[in-house]
Amino acid sequence: MSGHLFGFGQLAQTALQPARIVVVDDEDDILLAARLLLKRHFESVETLRDPGPLADLVRRNAFDVLLLDMNFATGADTGVEGLELLSQILALDPQAVVVLITAHADVALAVEAMKKGAADFVTKPWENERLLATLLAAWNLRRSRQEVSEFRARSQGLAEATRIGGEMIGTSPSMLRVFQTIRRAAPTEANVLILGENGTGKELVAREIHRRSARAEEAFVRVDLGTLSAQLFESELFGHRRGAFTDARQDRVGLLRAASGGTVFLDEIGNVSWHLQGKLLTALERREVTPVGSDKPEPIDVRPICATNLPAERLADENVFRQDLLYRINTVEIALPPLRERREDIPLLLEHFVSMYAEKYNVPAKRLGAAALERLMAHAWPGNVRELRHAVERAVILSEHAMLEPGDFSLSGSGPPAPASPESSKLDAVEKEAIARALEAHGRNISRAAESLGLTRASLYRRMEKYGL
C-alpha cells in the first residue's frame, strides 16, 4: 500500500511548508492517516471530527487550506452536508480555500462543488502523492489570493492618498470635450487610449474613467511600462512560478491578474518594444496570461486603459508601434491638450492649487497677486499641469506673505536673457541640436531623452523651453 492511505515509505521528507492545514472528517482512521502524513510536510496540521468549530476558525482566519469531508451524518452519502458547509464557509470568507474529500462514486458531485467555489477534491482512499500535490497547489492558490487582496488594498490606499490633487479642472473647449468623452466612455467596457504630453493628467483621466465605470469598486492597478526592462516585463505583467528564474523564490501574481475584475492602467505603452507589444496583444485578445515558468494559461478580466506621450502620427508608424495592438487599445481615444494650448484654464488651476496646498500644509490662506498671475499666464509650462502644481506648492510653503508675488515662483527659463557671445551662441546651437536628436530618438519620452543626455528631467525641461523645443 506504499503511497496510498497509511503508506508513507516512498515519500521523501522535505522542509516543512509554512501552511496551516485543517482536516475535518468523521472517521478517526482518516484523521489519523492525514495527520501522520501532513505533519511531515506542513508546519501546522489540525484535525476535527465535528465541523461545528469551522465557522469560528474561518472568522479567525485560522487556516490556509481546509480539507473537508462531504458527509458526516451516519450512513449519509449525498454530499449535501459538504455542499452546505462549503456555502457557509465561502459566505464568511469568499477567499477561503477548501479541498473536498469524497468517495469515488461522488466525483460528479465534487466537480459540481468546485463550480460552487471548492478549490479541488481528493477521493478515498487517496494516494499520498496526489493529496500532497493537491494541498500544495491549494496553498499556492491561497497565497495568490492573499497577494491579490493585499495589492488591491494598497492600490485603494494609494488612490485615497492621492485624491487631494485628483480633481480635473478646466472650462476651455478642449477640456470640455475631454470631459464629455470621459462621461460617455466610462460606463462602457470600451478600451481607452489617452494621448498627451508628460504632466497633462493622463493618469487622472484613467482614474476618472475607472471611478465612473461599473468596475469602480474593484482594483485600479497602474503599470508604468516605461520603467519595465524587457527581462522583467513578462514576470511583472503575467506573473511567474517559483524557480522560473534565479530570483524567483516563490510564485508571484502578475499585475494583470492582480487587476482582474477592475481596471489596469498601462502607462507609457509607446515605450514597449515591438516583440513585447505582441505578447501584450495576445494577453489582451485572449483575456488570459501564462506566468513565466508555467504552461497553463490563467484567465484575466481587466479593462485596459493605456496612455502614451507619443504623438498620434508616431503611433501610426508601423515601425514604431504595432497597428494590431493600436486597434485593440484605442476603441476610444482621448487627446489631452498641453497647458500652453488652454491658457484660459490657468487661473482656475492656480486658485485650486493655492487653496489646496494652504490647507494641506496648514498655512494661512494666500491669494495670487496680479503681477504673479500675469507672469504665470505668460509662462510656457513645458511640464504642463504637473509643473504648475509643483510651482504653486513650493510658493505656498516658502512664501511669508498672504499675497503671492512673481518672486515666489521659481520657473524654468524665466528672467531676462543675458547677451550672448558668439562662442555661447555656437554652443547653444550644438546643444539645441543634441537635445532635438535625443527627443526624436526617444519619441519625445522626456525620461529617456534626459537619461541619454545625462540630464535630469527638470534640466531637460528648462533647455526645451529655452530652445523652443
Q: Report pLDDT for 162.
A: 37
Among residues 405, 408, 410, 392, the alpha carbon closest in space to that of 348 is found at 392
Domain limits, the chain: 17-145, 162-335, 342-408, 422-467
**In CATH, what number does 342-408 get?**
1.10.8.60
Show the beta-strand stretches assigned E in 218-341.
220-224, 239-240, 252-253, 263-267, 288-289, 298-299, 303-308, 332-335
The dihedral built from the CA positions of residue 383, 204, 171 and 175, taken in this order, carries a sign that is positive
Among residues 252, 58, 245, the alpha carbon closest in space to that of 150 is found at 252
Q: What's the CATH class of domain 17-145?
A: alpha beta
Among residues 235, 226, 245, the alpha carbon closest in space to that of 290 is found at 235
Q: In this structure, what C-alpha cell is assigned to residue 309?
A: 506621450
Q: Does residue 240 sit in helix, strand or coil?
A: strand
Query: If you ran DSSP here, which 8-state letter would residue 5 be given?
Result: T
**In CATH, what number does 162-335 get?**
3.40.50.300
Mean pLDDT of the chain: 85
Among residues 447, 349, 448, the alpha carbon closest in space to that of 391 is found at 349
**Crossing angle for the helix pair 422-441 and 446-453, nearest 10 degrees?**
130
List pLDDT tens digits, range 442-455: 777 777 777 777 67
| Largest CA-CA distance found in the chain, in angstroms, rounded | 102
Sheet holding 220-224, edge to edge: 220-224, 263-267, 303-308, 192-195, 332-335
| Other residues' Cβ atoms within 10 Å of the Cβ of residue 13 | 8
Distance CA 402, CA 287 (A): 55
Q: Report pLDDT for 418.
A: 39
Cα 206 to its chain centre, rounded Å, is 12
Contact by Cβ (8 Å): 338, 200 = yes
Q: What are phi and psi of 376, to 5 degrees?
A: -70, -35
Q: Does residue 308 sit in helix, strand or coil?
A: strand
The C-alpha torsion from 319 through 325 and 329 to 331, rounded to 10°, is 90
Among residues 389, 412, 374, 405, the alpha carbon closest in space to that of 339 is found at 389
Name the amino acid, one letter, at 423: E
Instruction: Check for a shared fold between 342-408 and 422-467.
Output: no
User: How many angstroms separate the first and last alpha carbons of the chain?
Assistant: 79
Give the Å distances, CA to CA, from 187 to 208, 211, 247, 298.
11, 9, 41, 26
Q: Report pLDDT for 16.
A: 86
Q: Report pLDDT for 416.
A: 38
Distance CA 402, CA 392 (A): 14
Q: Report pLDDT for 151.
A: 65
Low-confidence residues of the chain, pLDDT below 50?
1-12, 158-165, 414-421, 423-424
Contact by Cβ (8 Å): 21, 45 = yes
- Model confidence pTM above 0.85: no
Distance CA 469, CA 458 (A): 14
Query: If you ran DSSP here, which 8-state letter would residue 408 be given?
Result: G
Q: Give counts: helices (H), strands (E), the chain.
A: 18, 16
Q: Report pLDDT for 457.
A: 65
Distance CA 33, CA 173 (A): 74
**CA-only gyration radius of the chain, Å:** 29
Name the amino acid, one letter, at 425: S
**In CATH, what number does 422-467 get?**
1.10.10
Q: Does residue 91 sit in helix, strand or coil?
A: helix
